[in-house]
Structure 1
């Protein structure tokens, strides 16, 4: 897992859709799971969404708390 990618989860915002402007780290699990089923977008956004889905699915969201404080 790339530490820089983890930092992006707490600083990068969703650029479109129902959750536009919400931090990727704050996207709801059902939305992330929808992407997992339907396909993640290409590029960096898709990689970040896939990483966040994996973190959320495995109950690891609290690991992002120290990064939020430093963001």
Structure 2
């Protein structure tokens, strides 16, 4: 993980699929868990989804709140 990845979680939108346009930090846990079971996509988006799944799984999503701009 790179430090800037945490900021990307609250600014980058899901580029495809059922939740296209949703911030990665706002994706539902069951969707993130599906990727964990089936495999994360390659590249940056996969890395960010894996990080968000880990954060969500451990109940740490509230730690992203200070990074959200005007939300």
User: How would you bin the TM-score normalised by the shorter chain?
Assistant: over 0.9
Q: TM-score scaled to structure 2, two decimals?
A: 0.94
Whose helix fraction is larger, Structure 1's or Structure 2's?
A: 1
Post-superposition Cα deviations, 1:3-50, rounded to whole Å, max 9, x if no partner, equal 200000000000011100000000000000000000000000000000
Length, aligned pairs only: 71
Q: Which ranges of 4 or more aligned residues in structure 1 deviate by more than 2 Å?
A: none
How much is the aligned-residue C-alpha RMSD, in angstroms?
1.4
**Unaligned stretches of 5+ residues in structure 1:** none
**Unaligned stretches of 5+ residues in structure 2:** none
Q: TM-score scaled to structure 1, two decimals?
A: 0.94
Residue 58 of structure 1 is matched in structure 2 by 58
